[in-house]
């Protein structure tokens, strides 16, 4: 019997035998309609629980980090309408950055910078600012890191560990997700960052469902959307201060404030997933105001956080 609350497809399937001799086309239609709700059920909107993230942050024993730094090493000039759908075409700077989570005895790098050749790709013909000294500083910090993770598999975040003379050595202390490796192997953003099978094997490759604690106070949060391998990086300092590094989920924090995605024809995102993430981040800013959400490329936000003493544009090289 068909239950009163059965999905429409189930109802159709139940009555379908009646039509069997009348119209095979109807049967086919019933099958299609029946399949549709199941597909929708499988695609639940992206969501994650901050309480679970905080719990996971306490699972790896040891002292928590004490400081967070960001280092800007290059710029892209993009008017704001590309970063935030519907925004006016005002001039805007996309800072190319890497983050450093400093522990008492070592540090973790979040993102690994990029060399000038990869930077050129992002200029799409224009010659955009690249600070050689700052980029070299990022590379030195990456070389000296205890552990490296990346927010996603795009060149401006990952090139520092997949190209260059020290790449093979860096891979042994770099955690990439299975998805990030798969994308870098089979459909990299640019040919320069394609991983060979041999190079891919050198990395520490992980697969996880929702959360992965990687160090005291640091949790990776799966957030496919901007790219298939995108993840957020939660950081809780010893002082109790909390950050959520959201990579490129939003290029500008107005995307979070207004819950609006990008409008950049050159990126292919899972727009529904990104919107669900923006909505979650938007709510988080209200329900957990002590947690500081940080976008990788939002120059205005980094300047404001530096002014408030929450983030400094420097690296501690050890
Ligand atoms: Zn980026």
264 and 285: one domain? yes
**Residue 154 forms part of a structural domain:** yes
**Residue 32 forms part of a structural domain:** yes
Ligand 1 geometric centre to CA of 194 (Å): 17
The DSSP code for 311 is: -
Ligand 1 geometric centre to CA of 154 (Å): 6
pLDDT of residue 116: 95
Ligand 1 geometric centre to CA of 251 (Å): 8
Q: With CA atoms as reference, report the closest residue to 301 among 262, 227, 244, 260.
A: 244
Q: What's the number of domains the chain is made of? A: 2
pLDDT of residue 165: 87
69 and 19: one domain? no
pLDDT of residue 42: 53
**Residue 189 forms part of a structural domain:** yes
pLDDT of residue 125: 82
Token pair 């992206």 is at which residue? 46
Q: Which domain holds residue 82?
A: 50-313
36 and 86: one domain? no
172 and 309: one domain? yes
Question: CATH number of the domain that 106 lies in?
Answer: 3.60.15.10
Q: What string of pLDDT tens digits covers the 318 residues of the chain?
A: 334 344 434 433 443 444 344 444 444 444 444 444 444 445 678 999 999 999 999 999 999 999 999 999 999 999 999 999 999 999 999 999 999 999 999 999 999 999 999 999 988 888 999 999 999 999 999 999 999 999 999 999 999 999 988 999 999 999 999 999 999 999 999 999 999 999 999 999 999 999 999 999 999 999 999 999 999 999 999 999 999 999 999 999 999 999 999 999 999 999 999 999 999 999 999 999 999 999 999 999 999 999 999 999 999 998
pLDDT of residue 228: 98
End-to-end CA distance of the chain: 70
**Residue 84 forms part of a structural domain:** yes
Q: With CA atoms as reference, report the closest residue to 257 among 231, 283, 232, 235.
A: 283
157 and 263: one domain? yes
129 and 79: one domain? yes
Ligand 1 geometric centre to CA of 68 (Å): 19
**Residue 2 forms part of a structural domain:** no
37 and 68: one domain? no
Ligand 1 geometric centre to CA of 97 (Å): 8
130 and 184: one domain? yes
Ligand 1 geometric centre to CA of 296 (Å): 7
104 and 36: one domain? no
Ligand 1 geometric centre to CA of 6 (Å): 45
Ligand 1 geometric centre to CA of 155 (Å): 8
105: left (phi over 0), alpha (psi -120 to 50) or beta: alpha
Ligand 1 geometric centre to CA of 248 (Å): 5
- For 244-280, b where at least 16 C-beta lie within 10 A, e where not — what string? bbbbbbbbbbbbbebbbbbeeeebebbeebbbbbbeb
Ligand 1 geometric centre to CA of 96 (Å): 7
212 and 264: one domain? yes
**Residue 239 forms part of a structural domain:** yes
Beta strands in the chain (DSSP E): 67-77, 93-102, 107-110, 147-149, 174-177, 204-206, 211-215, 218-222, 231-236, 242-245, 291-294, 312-313
25 and 101: one domain? no
36 and 160: one domain? no
**Residue 176 forms part of a structural domain:** yes
**Residue 78 forms part of a structural domain:** yes
- What's the rounded Cα separation, in Å, for the pair 261 and 92? 16
């Amino acid at each position: 019997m068909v239950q009163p609350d059965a999905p429409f497809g189930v109802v159709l399937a139940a009555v379908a035998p009646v039509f069997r001799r009348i119209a095979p086309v109807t049967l086919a239609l019933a099958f299609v309609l029946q399949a549709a709700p199941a597909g929708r059920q499988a695609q639940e909107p992206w969501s994650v629980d901050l309480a679970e993230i905080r719990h996971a942050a306490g699972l790896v024993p040891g002292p928590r980090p004490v400081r967070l730094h960001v280092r800007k090493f290059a710029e892209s000039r993009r008017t704001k309408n590309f970063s935030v759908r519907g925004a006016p075409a005002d001039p805007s700077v996309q800072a190319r950055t890497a983050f450093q989570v400093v522990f008492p005895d070592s540090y973790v790098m979040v993102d690994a910078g990029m060399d000038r050749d990869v930077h050129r790709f992002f200029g799409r013909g224009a010659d955009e600012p690249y600070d050689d000294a700052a980029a070299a500083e990022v590379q030195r910090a990456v070389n000296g890191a205890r552990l490296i993770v990346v927010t996603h598999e795009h060149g401006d975040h990952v090139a520092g560990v997949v190209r260059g003379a020290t790449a093979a050595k860096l891979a042994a202390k770099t955690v990439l997700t299975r998805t990030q490796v798969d994308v870098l192997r089979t459909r990299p953003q640019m040919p320069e960052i394609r991983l060979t099978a041999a190079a891919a094997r050198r990395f520490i490759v992980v697969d996880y469902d929702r959360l992965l604690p990687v160090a005291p106070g640091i949790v990776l949060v799966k957030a496919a959307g901007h790219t298939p391998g995108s993840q957020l990086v939660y950081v809780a300092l010893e002082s109790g201060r909390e950050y959520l590094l959201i990579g490129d989920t939003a290029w500008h924090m107005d995307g979070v404030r207004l819950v609006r995605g990008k409008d950049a024809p050159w990126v292919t995102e899972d727009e529904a997933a990104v919107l669900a993430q923006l909505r979650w981040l938007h709510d988080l800013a209200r329900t957990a105001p002590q947690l500081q959400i940080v976008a990788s490329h939002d120059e205005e936000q980094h300047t404001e956080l530096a002014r408030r003493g929450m983030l400094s544009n420097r690296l501690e090289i050890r």
